[in-house]
């Protein structure tokens, strides 16, 4: 067997790109330059091109992709349009995601507030019993410890109580169950608190049940001044000044 037959076959890859990757200049159509020509086993070989050799499918696809790219770095109208479309899509998706996050956060806060208000509403009767026990002096010992923990739960939820004797009556905060009058007040006043109210922030969870004292003599309404009209005296005539034929008791004249 000859030495030529023992040599491995050569693999030649031709560069058909239309733009020179080194200089960036456009190549003449039809000009082909070999990229590499080396044996399959890696021994150095002559790199002279051979006629009839075909490029692989991979480099054929690469050449087709490069043919669509703008020559010399000039951006075509088609590339500009595609860039504008992708930018608009990205902005729309970003806005939708931001709206989704705000909506989820709003719903989460709403659900948390509703759960806290429902739980606080179940503790209100217990708080009423604690306040009655405090008024009677029975809030001592272990019962006082439990009462403080219950009140601490309401405080942790942000629930505060309102309604104290002497507060001005507000229909949105107070529920009037008793009425009386007194000269010591000038406006309707909650003088007796039968049940405290509770609110969480600006939201009223329960109105306060109070007795209202109204002013004994409300301020009179200012009356409009009346316009005095001048009086005219009419002359009064008696029978002496009347003519003889018009005086009372006078009969017809006799000729």
Confidence at residue 237, expressed as pLDDT on a 0 to 100 scale: 53
Decide the pairing of beta strands 174-182 and 208-215: parallel
Mean pLDDT of 4-20: 70
What is the phi/psi pair of residue 163, to 5°? 110, 100
CA dist 64 → 24, 59, 167 (Å)? 18, 9, 86
Q: Is the pLDDT score of 16 beyond 80?
A: no
Confidence at residue 44, expressed as pLDDT on a 0 to 100 scale: 44
Q: In this predicted model, what pLDDT tens digit does every residue of 142-155 receive, in sequence order?
A: 888 999 999 999 99
Out of 48, 73, 98, a domain closes at: 73
Confidence at residue 210, expressed as pLDDT on a 0 to 100 scale: 93
Its pTM stands at 0.49
Q: Is the pLDDT score of 114 beyond 50?
A: yes
Confidence of residue 139 (pLDDT cuts 50, 70, 90): confident
Question: Per this entry, what is the length of the chain?
Answer: 255
Out of 73, 88, 115, a domain closes at: 73
Mean pLDDT of 195-204: 92
Identity of the highest mean pLDDT range in 33-37, 88-92, 179-183: 88-92
Mean pLDDT of 153-160: 92
Within a domain: 114? no
Residue 75: Cβ within 10 Å count: 9
Mean pLDDT of 69-85: 73
Confidence of residue 216 (pLDDT cuts 50, 70, 90): confident
User: Please, what is the angle between helix 141-156 and helix 77-135, to 10°?
Assistant: 160
Q: In this predicted model, what pLDDT tens digit does every residue of 222-254 receive, in sequence order?
A: 555 555 555 555 555 555 455 555 555 555 444
Q: What distance separates the 2 farthest-apart alpha carbons in the chain?
A: 196
Confidence of residue 13 (pLDDT cuts 50, 70, 90): confident
Within a domain: 140? no
Q: Is the pLDDT score of 69 beyond 60?
A: no
CATH number, domain with residue 173: 2.30.22.10
Domain that holds residue 188: 160-215
Q: How many domains does the chain have?
A: 2
Within a domain: 86? no
Within a domain: 201? yes
Out of 37, 58, 73, a domain closes at: 73
Mean pLDDT of 137-145: 86
Within a domain: 60? yes
Q: Check if the beta carbon of residue 165 is closer than 8 Å to that of residue 212.
A: no
Residue 147: Cβ within 10 Å count: 19
Q: Is the pLDDT score of 215 beyond 50?
A: yes
Q: In this predicted model, what pLDDT tens digit does every residue of 26-65 receive, in sequence order?
A: 776 665 555 544 444 444 444 444 444 444 444 444 444 5
Confidence at residue 72, expressed as pLDDT on a 0 to 100 scale: 47
Within a domain: 236? no
Confidence of residue 113 (pLDDT cuts 50, 70, 90): very high
Confidence at residue 39, expressed as pLDDT on a 0 to 100 scale: 46
Within a domain: 155? no
Confidence at residue 219, expressed as pLDDT on a 0 to 100 scale: 55
């Amino acid at each position: 067997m000859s030495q030529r037959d023992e040599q491995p076959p050569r693999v030649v890859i031709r560069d058909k790109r239309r733009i020179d990757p080194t200089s960036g200049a456009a190549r003449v159509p039809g000009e082909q330059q070999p990229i590499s020509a080396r044996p399959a086993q890696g021994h150095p070989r002559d790199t002279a091109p051979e006629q009839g050799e075909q490029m692989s499918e991979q480099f054929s696809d690469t050449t087709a992709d490069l043919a669509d790219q703008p020559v010399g770095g000039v951006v075509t109208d088609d590339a500009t349009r595609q860039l504008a479309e992708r930018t608009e899509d990205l902005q729309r998706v970003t806005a939708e995601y931001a709206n989704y996050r705000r909506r989820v956060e709003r719903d989460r806060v709403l659900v948390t507030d509703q759960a806290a208000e429902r739980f606080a509403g179940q503790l209100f009767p217990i708080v009423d019993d604690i306040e009655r026990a405090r008024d009677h002096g029975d809030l001592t010992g272990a019962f006082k410890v439990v009462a403080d923990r219950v009140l601490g739960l309401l405080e942790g939820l942000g629930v505060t109580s309102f309604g104290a004797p002497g507060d001005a009556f507000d229909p949105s905060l107070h529920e009037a169950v008793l009425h009386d009058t007194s000269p010591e007040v000038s406006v309707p006043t909650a003088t007796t608190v039968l049940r405290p109210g509770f609110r969480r922030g600006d939201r009223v969870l329960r109105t306060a049940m109070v007795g209202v004292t109204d002013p004994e003599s409300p301020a009179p309404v200012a009356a409009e001044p009346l316009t005095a009209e001048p009086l005219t005296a009419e002359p009064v005539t008696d029978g002496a000044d009347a003519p003889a034929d018009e005086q009372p008791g006078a009969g017809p004249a006799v000729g």
